[in-house]
C-alpha cells in the first residue's frame, strides 16, 4: 500500500478498580465514621454547642465517612 495508513489503535484500557476487600474495608470504615460523627453533630446542635470547635470536627468526620461510603459504592458499581 502507500504507507499513509494510520497506525492501528489500541483498544481502550478499563479503569483500574479497587480489590473487593478494599471496597468492603472502605464501607466499614465509612459507616464507623458516619455514625458517631452524625451522633456528635446532633448532640452538639441540640445542646446548643454550635460555637464549640468540636462541632466542626464532628461535621468533618461525618463528611469523610459519607465520602468513603459514596466512593466505595461507586467503585463497586463501576
Domain ranges for the chain, please list them.
20-77
pLDDT tens for the 78 residues of the chain, in order:
556 777 778 877 777 677 778 888 888 888 888 888 788 778 877 877 667 777 778 888 888 888 888 888 887 665
What's the CA gap between 71 and 22, in Å, rounded? Answer: 11
Give me the pLDDT at residue 1, please.
Answer: 53
Give the DSSP per-residue string, 13-59.
PPPP---HHHHHHHHHHHHHHHHHHHHHHHHHHHTT-TTSHHHHHHH
Amino acid at each position: 500500500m502507500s504507507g499513509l495508513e494510520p497506525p492501528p489503535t489500541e483498544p481502550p484500557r478499563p479503569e483500574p478498580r479497587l480489590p473487593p476487600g478494599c471496597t468492603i474495608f472502605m464501607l466499614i470504615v465509612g459507616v464507623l465514621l458516619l455514625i458517631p460523627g452524625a451522633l456528635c453533630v446532633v448532640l452538639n446542635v441540640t445542646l446548643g454547642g454550635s460555637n464549640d470547635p468540636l462541632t466542626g470536627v464532628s461535621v468533618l468526620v461525618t463528611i469523610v465517612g459519607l465520602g468513603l461510603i459514596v466512593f466505595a459504592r461507586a467503585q463497586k458499581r463501576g
